[in-house]
Amino acid sequence: MKFHHRLFRRRGLTENGDLVKVEVVVLVDDNAQSGLHAAHGFAALINCFYKKGEVKILFDTGPDTTLLNNALAMKTELGKVDVIALSHGHYDHTGGLLDAIKTIGRRIPIVVDPEAFSTKLAYKPALTYIGTPFQPWQIEAAGGTLVLTVKPTLLARGVTLTGRIERRIDEPSVKGLYVVKDGVIVKDEVPDDRALILNVNGRIMIVTGCAHAGVLNLVDEALRLTGANSIAILIGGLHLFNVPRRKAEDIARELKRMNVSKVAPCHCTGERGLEELRKVFGDSCIPLKAGSTYSA
């Protein structure tokens, strides 16, 4: 199936075309099923099935060779990936990118925000670079074609990478992240943070890498962009690991109030966040790890 790229139009999400089924296969996560490698980071293969044909989207690539090792162990054919989308420019989501491109073995579109290539830093405890390990020229040389966008971008019928997410809801700010701007180290609000929105037979799914924009802001963005009144499932890193327990509880309850039916936490959600989500969502909280598959 040919790769279709055009900027978002509202009906591109509210009408799913002929997307009838989606499989989200977690390839990299902080936790892993037996026989697979765990690594701090995230990567998922999104298998999109249409009435005629299918599309494979690789969303994030983990921090290193864990992506390839787990894909091999799971007998997942990365060589058939049609397009790569990156949630943001941190190493734990981009470190396996060059290996993925080389494994695919042909020129492939990589949709990402240009801010993902900024100089991103953290103190661990010394000043440490935590950004994308590769320069744009290295990605192009390996066989990637960078598609640098800041607006919602249609990856395939019924599948859109959000644009920069509007921060309309007051959520805990990102702590301990910095970026170099105009020769000065300043707080990084991670404006490049983006997520996938999928419309499967009228049901809206969200797949997020880290939700640095705030998980409530992400859900709000998805509801506004699609015109939907509910989210069937929210999958991925929800960045609740360093949020106070009371605040994590409030966020979980607000997700429920926003008509999120199910949550499938991964990566940076953290044990505290997972506990509060389980209290609110019960059996509709379905933690995923490397090796897990969610079908809808």
Extract the runs of DSSP E, i.e. beta strands, from the chain: 6-7, 19-28, 43-50, 54-59, 83-85, 108-112, 120-123, 127-129, 144-148, 153-156, 159-161, 178-181, 184-187, 195-200, 203-208, 231-237, 260-266, 293-295
63-82 confidence digits (pLDDT tens): 999 999 999 999 999 999 99
| Structure-token pair, residue 176 | 């301990």
Closest by alpha carbon to 160, among 100, 220, 107, 205?
Answer: 205
Taking each helix axis as running N to C, give the angle between helix 270-281 and helix 245-257, from 0 to 180 degrees, rounded to the nearest 10: 40
* Cα four-point dihedral sign 183, 162, 221, 173: negative
Residue type for position 198? L
Q: Residue 289: how many CA atoms within 13 Å on its side-chain side? A: 12
269-294 confidence digits (pLDDT tens): 999 999 999 999 999 999 999 999 99
Place of tokens 């661990």: 124
Furthest C-alpha separation in the chain: 53
pLDDT value at residue 6: 39
Q: Are 265 and 285 in contact (CB under 8 A)?
A: yes
CATH code matching the domain that covers 6-165+176-295, chosen among 3.40.50.1470, 3.60.15.10, 2.40.50.140, 3.90.1300.10: 3.60.15.10
Low-confidence spans in the chain with pLDDT less than 70: 1-17, 173
Closest by alpha carbon to 138, among 168, 101, 164?
Answer: 101
Closest by alpha carbon to 109, among 76, 144, 79?
Answer: 144
In sequence order, the 6+-apart residues with CB closer than 8 A to the CB of 5 are 109, 111, 147, 153, 154, 155
Closest by alpha carbon to 223, among 240, 201, 209, 206?
Answer: 206
Q: What separation in angstroms does the CA of 13 have from each of 200, 202, 222, 235, 273?
A: 10, 9, 10, 18, 29
Cα(162)–Cα(168) distance, rounded to whole angstroms? Answer: 15
